[in-house]
Structure 1
Amino acid sequence: MSSFAPSRPIDLGTGAVAELLDIHPSTVKRWFDRPGLSTTSGGHRRIPLDLVLDVARARGRRVHLHGFGTHAGQAWYAMQALEHGDPGPACDVLVHWLRTRRSHLIGRFLWHVAGRGDAPDPGVLDGVFGGFMRRVGDGWERGELRIADERAASREVGEATGRLLVAAAGKADDPDPDRPTAVVGTVEPEQHVLGSQLVRLLLFHRGWNVEHLGTGVPVPEIVATQRALDASLVCVSFTPPAVAADVLRFIEATGGLADPQRPFSLVVGGGGVRGLDPSGLDEAFTELAAIGDLVALGDWLDEHG
């Protein structure tokens, strides 16, 4: 656990306020020229976040933190840590909101940190979307969270991921024969869809046509789809309780069914590939890779795409 504290007071410097409200620093000084504000030892003004949001609201300037109400400080703290590459506080605050029955804030936070810009950051998808769900799974196994909590978390993460996929619909719904095609899914009996959906999202934003088969797909169906589409890549996600031996059996079965006249690369990923050594099984594929996270997958696609 990181040092997230729900009641942590937040004071901002002039530059941070200017960035948050998208105004000039001189405007910050004018709007917050009032007695009682604290200063640093160097004489720099410190402005409470609550005051910043109140003044912004009064001046008709709405910012994303307004959507978090009295929990804006928690959201800000987690977002700042994420900007510095630390997803721990974000996962902490999401679990805190889940436990305190504020799950609506979870989806709002996920959309904000992943929905900005042209494409979601794979590190955010891994560290926040995936990291939060791993925390939820661990909490459920320890008896700290209820089934209802797990379902609420899955709903919010699933809906946020769905929004991101809709935002990429222009690429998803208009297959281009000049773009490479990938087949994505999970093999039976796997029923966890988040990993494959995040892979799908990553591929969309890297210019791939994607056929998402969903969960629990038999191996022959995966290979048949690859053949029908002449896909150059197949990505299959494995989550615990799947282990390396399960993944090896899948690789062997897939290689046995693969058509040498329609070669493709096979990427297996997720928590189930930990400890996997696929050496010696790559003869049936253009490339064979076991990749544990989306950042590494993004690097692999950049190298092999």
Structure 2
Amino acid sequence: MGTGDVAELLDIHPSTVKRWFDSPRMAATSGGHRRIPLDLVLDVARARDRRVYLHGFGSHATHVWHAMQALERGDPAPACDALVHWLRIRQSRLIGRFLWHVAARGDVPDPGVLDGVFGGFMKRVGDGWERGELRIADERAASREAGEAIGRLLAAAGGEADEPDPQRPTAVVGTVEPEQHILGSQLVRLLLLHRGWNVEHLGTGVPAPEIVATQRALGASLVCVSFTPPATAADLLRFVEAAGRLADPAQPFALVLGGNAVRGIQVSGGDGAFTDLVALDGLAAFRDWLDDRG
């Protein structure tokens, strides 16, 4: 690590780094810049009673550091590699710890990071399960840890408020029967809460008539529905047709379809029931869509 990295990690001034670190274990580049081994940084931080997030990962701290550096460059692959590795060696506690740390950085979770890390990890888990490389227990452990991390994020965002704010717009979020994957819709809920929406999250496997009935009852201006494989384009189009037929023309709403099953699909229809109708392949695209609508 460079002295600037150490100063940022330990939240100290660069001049303090120079005072604290004077060891034969340190190295220097050809240009004379100091390089400090990560394990030395963590040892000194512990000795000086400065707890940092990497202490919680023990012998895996180096992998976490490299994954975080890659995320800063926009590359989520090392993070997903680490998460799948922990799943394989039955270290699921590290999965939840890492997911929470990644998503809780800053005031608002970064949709691109949520797509790349949460979404990328769960896609790898699903692919591994289909290939027979992971067990059902592994998939459930991954879903549990991701779900608990998202639950903490929702609580921090005020997701448990008792009463909606009548001054804010309202969205209905959920999945259509028989869809039982909840994580994508929960991340949509999280993003909307941070942007000041009231969110009615219906959960999984909800019939189309119930989704539209909830929209009508709440006067919601937005409905977000998640689809994942084995849902097909035909399933999406059937839902759009049903929602358009059931909607109240006097209360049109924007309908956003998301999830891995919508990639590359173009949707249309509704005959005026919708103020907008789009299929988006991730949270970053959803954020951009919200920005365009003002």
- TM-score, normalised on structure 2? 0.97
Counterpart selection for 1:132 from 111, 121, 134: 121
Tell me what 2:29 maps to: 40
Tell me what 1:203 maps to: 192
How many percent identity over aligned positions? Answer: 80
Q: Offset at 1:188?
A: 0.5
- One-letter code aligned to 1:304: R
- One-letter code aligned to 2:215: Q
Counterpart selection for 1:233 from 222, 237, 249: 222
Q: Offset at 1:87?
A: 0.6
Q: 1:163 to 1:101 in 2, by over 3 A?
A: same
| Secondary structure of 1:125 counterpart | helix
Is residue 220 from structure 1 mapped to residue 220 from structure 2 by the alignment? no
Tell me what 2:85 maps to: 96
Aligned length: 294
Q: Offset at 1:129?
A: 0.6
Q: Offset at 1:218?
A: 0.5
Tell me what 1:51 maps to: 40
Distance (Å, rounded) in 2 between the aligned partners of 1:122 and 1:209: 19
Q: 1:18 to 1:282 in 2, by over 3 A?
A: farther
Distance (Å, rounded) in 2 between the aligned partners of 1:244 and 1:85: 30
Distance (Å, rounded) in 2 between the aligned partners of 1:84 and 1:173: 39
Q: 1:45 to 1:222 in 2, by over 3 A?
A: same
Distance (Å, rounded) in 1 between the aligned partners of 2:25 and 2:249: 75
Q: Offset at 1:261?
A: 1.1
Distance (Å, rounded) in 1 between the aligned partners of 2:200 and 2:285: 21
| Secondary structure of 2:27 counterpart | coil
Tell me what 1:30 maps to: 19
Tell me what 2:245 maps to: 256
Distance (Å, rounded) in 2 between the aligned partners of 1:171 and 1:296: 26
Tell me what 2:177 maps to: 188
Counterpart selection for 2:168 from 172, 176, 179: 179
Is the 1:265–1:285 contact (alpha carbons within 8 Å) kept by the matching residues of 2?
yes
| Secondary structure of 1:289 counterpart | strand
Distance (Å, rounded) in 2 between the aligned partners of 1:139 and 1:13: 37
Q: 1:31 to 1:289 in 2, by over 3 A?
A: same
- TM-score, normalised on structure 1? 0.94
Is the 1:233–1:265 contact (alpha carbons within 8 Å) kept by the matching residues of 2?
yes
Tell me what 2:142 maps to: 153
Is the 2:25–2:37 contact (alpha carbons within 8 Å) kept by the matching residues of 1?
no
Tell me what 2:256 maps to: 267
Distance (Å, rounded) in 1 between the aligned partners of 2:94 and 2:165: 37
Q: Offset at 1:172?
A: 4.3
Q: Offset at 1:116?
A: 2.2
Distance (Å, rounded) in 2 between the aligned partners of 1:13 and 1:156: 33
Q: 1:282 to 1:156 in 2, by over 3 A?
A: farther
Is the 2:70–2:76 contact (alpha carbons within 8 Å) kept by the matching residues of 1?
yes
Q: Offset at 1:162?
A: 0.4
RMSD over aligned Cα atoms: 1.2
Counterpart selection for 2:234 from 230, 240, 245: 245
| Secondary structure of 1:164 counterpart | helix
Runs of at least 5 residues in structure 2 that lack an aligned partner in the other structure: none
Is the 1:191–1:215 contact (alpha carbons within 8 Å) kept by the matching residues of 2?
yes
Q: 1:282 to 1:71 in 2, by over 3 A?
A: farther
1:166-203 Cα distance to aligned partner (Å, 9 max, x none): 11126844411110000000000101001110110011
